[in-house]
Structure 1
Amino acid sequence: MERSFTVDVFKVVAAQLIVWHHFSAYGPMSEAMTLQWPQLIEWLYRYARLAVQVFLVVGGFLAAQSVMNKPMTHPVIHIFNRYLRLVPIYIFALSLISLVVAILRTDIHADWLPSAPTFSHFLAHALLVHDLFDIEALSSGAWYVAIDFQLFVVLVVLCNRLQPYGVRVLSLGVALLCVASMWWFNRIDELDIWAIYFFAAYGLGVLAAWAKRSAFDAAVFWITVLLAVGALWIEYRTRLSLALITAVWLTIKPKSRVHWTPMKRVVHRLANSAYVLFLTHFGVIVVFSALWNIGHFHDPVTAFALTGFAWGCAVGLGLFLHEKAEIPVHHWLSHQSKLMFLRLTN
């Protein structure tokens, strides 16, 4: 799969916006900054979180490329591999955050801190079902991991059931589910713990990836875009508008090989570490909130400077854990899973 610099940029920008959204939502530094820059903090809180829609579209785009032209005769293998890709570093991040919260809880005294985890909490998170059973999340990004996995499962099941009838039928099936999400499911807030609520954005990403495969797939994508505009006319949603713009840009952007410059390599590394950053930055917020309280700070400028430093630390931690933990663990687990499946099929 050819690497797209556009996708890298989307992932980096979206990840940083999500981090700053959480900096505006949690901690005493946010309260101090609100006194000096209320409009900025309000914007970060209300709108920066919409960057999740970019992640959803990009996630669908990359997932569609990974399954394109591949037979889905063994969907369980693809689903299990996705689970191995998402969950090990996720559980490690939750363990790290839970430890940090346990150590610093008495220095923060805030209701936004998660409760002390039990074994059932961890088990529900490990199985990616904590929201389905209304179990308190152990971190701010836990919900997204579960939704990402659900969406991938839906895509793989669609591929498995519809591929035998041809790629055109598969494209139409994805488009129909995407449109159903836009026009109905995405308008029901109570469904936001299920993949069907988010398939509007994810499906646009899938169809965008397939749009350059053939004239038929391109037509399916653009018809879906028109139906998305209709869904926005019925009920305008900023999140769907952003998803639509992202998908259209991924489609119309000319495909070309990346000429790697030092700056593009930095963006590439930051994009690769975006998932770990997403998982771990809440722990950094906890640490710096405790430092703020221990230091008895109150000045908004100090709060902004300390938040900027915390942001840099979160990005650095994400890069470090991606390269020193996520990559080697993923490679080892992938190798072991291949050996296991070889034994089972022989």
Structure 2
Amino acid sequence: MTSRNTALDHVKAVACLVIVCHHLAFYGPMSDVLRPLWPGLLGWLDEYGRMAVQLFLVLGGYWAAAALAPQGQARHADIGPVLGKRFVRLCLPYSAALACAIVVNEVVRSWGFDHDSVSATPTWDAVLAHLLLVQSLGDWEALSAGVWYVAIDFQLYALCLVWLWCSRRLPRWPALGQTGLVLATAASLWVWNLDSSLDVWALYFLGAYGLGMMAWWATHTPHPWQRWGWVALMLLLTGCALLLEWRPRIAIAGVTALALVLQGLWLPAGRWPQWPLLTWMGQRSYAIFLIHFPTSLLVNALVTLHWPQSVTANALGLLAAVLLSVLAGAQLFRWTEQATPTWQLWRNWQLGVLATGWVAATL
């Protein structure tokens, strides 16, 4: 696609806001003060808000198919530069957000804010593990909420890239790349996603990601019979997965993938309603997602330390946390994502995180 899809920007904006509100409801302590007043809303955000991650997984697969195999066959003959570019694009804003998270954790701890949402002072190996996106594999404590998703996103992209590249080596079977990914999607939905111990690996999430890739291929095939074949296959994979075990997250992933197909076929981007604020937020959703937790933690600490039982102060605090997260995400986007991603910029931010971790550990 040569232009941005406004509809998908809107979806990302809404999903991002839901994740921000979910973490505010889940971690507290401002939400704990307000829960007796708004039990339904905060309970729903606490329990179901995290499901918005499924939208990002499906959209991630959708755009991965567009970048790696828009017509079903691998575009790239050399995977090294592609994988390196993806790593740098993910890790530039991620590294900056990690540095902010470390600073905020130490600041609120110095204020005497004692809460489960405050991470322990990081060790050298924990910081390095986060920078290499392997913190979940080694069971290091997360420095910020949501950092696991960055690691999973990179795993999923790398897995699909490597498989498509391998399938390119066998030109006699041009459909091998798509076939292998469909089979892997089925295995994830029907087997791997049923085992929660695998949730640190891409295989656990490949079902939602693969449905997103299938949605791209369904939307962009020129043949109607192939299009409806993809839709039928998506329905089959999702339906069988839900018959094996009802999982709301898989239902949401399936519905999202099918909605992408319907939107792409019958509601082109140019006809989608124009909501500039949502478009703006959608373009910055990754940065908002990365920076929202340290921003919310800072607001939580300030409100709790000064007005611990005030309903009004805590309600305004929740609103301020959301608004400040969006503003902080916009600034992070400007610093990192608007700049051309280079290994030099990546190195500078990585060194900044290591320095921040060292200062935090030695103070």
TM-score, length-scaled by structure 1:
0.91
Partner of 1:71: 75
Question: Any conservation in 2 of the 1:9–1:271 contact (CA below 8 Å)?
Answer: yes
Partner of 1:35: 36
Of 101, 104, 108 in structure 1, the residue corresponding to residue 108 of structure 2 is 104
Question: Any conservation in 2 of the 1:232–1:240 contact (CA below 8 Å)?
Answer: yes
Shift of 1:167: 4.6
Distance across 2 between alignment mates of 1:86 and 1:212: 26
Partner of 1:86: 90
SS at match of 2:270: coil
Aligned residue type for 1:242: I
Q: Residues 39 and 156 (structure 1 numbering): CA distance in 2 closer, same or farther, change over 3 Å? A: same
Distance across 2 between alignment mates of 1:196 and 1:332: 28
Of 122, 140, 143 in structure 2, the residue corresponding to residue 135 of structure 1 is 140
- 1:197 equivalent to 2:209? Answer no
- 1:124 equivalent to 2:129? Answer yes
Distance across 2 between alignment mates of 1:66 and 1:207: 13
Distance across 1 between alignment mates of 2:197 and 2:204: 9
Of 227, 249, 268 in structure 2, the residue corresponding to residue 239 of structure 1 is 249
Question: Any conservation in 1 of the 2:231–2:258 contact (CA below 8 Å)?
Answer: no
Tell me whether 61-70 or 120-129 shows the greater mean CA deviation. Answer: 61-70
Shift of 1:30: 1.2
Q: Residues 218 and 170 (structure 1 numbering): CA distance in 2 closer, same or farther, change over 3 Å? A: farther
Identity percentage over the alignment?
33
- 1:230 equivalent to 2:240? Answer yes
Shift of 1:266: 2.7
Q: Residues 48 and 336 (structure 1 numbering): CA distance in 2 closer, same or farther, change over 3 Å? A: closer
Partner of 1:266: 277
Partner of 2:19: 18
Question: Any conservation in 1 of the 2:307–2:314 contact (CA below 8 Å)?
Answer: no
Distance across 2 between alignment mates of 1:336 and 1:100: 23
Deviations 1:148-197 (A, max 9, x none): 00000011012101234455222211111101101100110000000000
Aligned residue type for 1:246: T
CA RMSD of aligned residues (A): 2.0
Tell me whether 252-261 or 2-11 shows the greater mean CA deviation. Answer: 252-261
Tell me whether 212-221 or 25-34 shows the greater mean CA deviation. Answer: 212-221
Of 313, 317, 336 in structure 2, the residue corresponding to residue 325 of structure 1 is 336
Deviations 1:19-68 (A, max 9, x none): 00000012320110112112221110100110000000001111111112
Which sections of structure 2, spanning at least 5 residues, go unmatched? 347-363
Of 278, 292, 298 in structure 2, the residue corresponding to residue 281 of structure 1 is 292
SS at match of 1:211: helix
Q: Residues 15 and 336 (structure 1 numbering): CA distance in 2 closer, same or farther, change over 3 Å? A: closer
Which sections of structure 1, spanning at least 5 residues, go unmatched? 338-346
Question: Any conservation in 1 of the 2:144–2:293 contact (CA below 8 Å)?
Answer: yes
Partner of 2:359: none
Of 178, 191, 201 in structure 2, the residue corresponding to residue 184 of structure 1 is 191
Shift of 1:299: 2.5
Partner of 1:292: 303
Tell me whether 103-112 or 52-61 shows the greater mean CA deviation. Answer: 103-112
Runs of 4+ in structure 1 off by over 3 angstroms are: 163-167, 215-218, 334-337
Question: Any conservation in 2 of the 1:192–1:198 contact (CA below 8 Å)?
Answer: yes
Distance across 2 between alignment mates of 1:224 and 1:316: 38
Distance across 1 between alignment mates of 2:7 and 2:21: 21
Partner of 2:158: 153
- 1:208 equivalent to 2:215? Answer yes
Distance across 1 between alignment mates of 2:26 and 2:241: 30
Shift of 1:5: 1.8
Of 297, 308, 316 in structure 1, the residue corresponding to residue 319 of structure 2 is 308
Q: Residues 188 and 55 (structure 1 numbering): CA distance in 2 closer, same or farther, change over 3 Å? A: same
Give the number of aligned pairs.
Answer: 334
SS at match of 1:258: helix
Distance across 1 between alignment mates of 2:329 and 2:158: 26
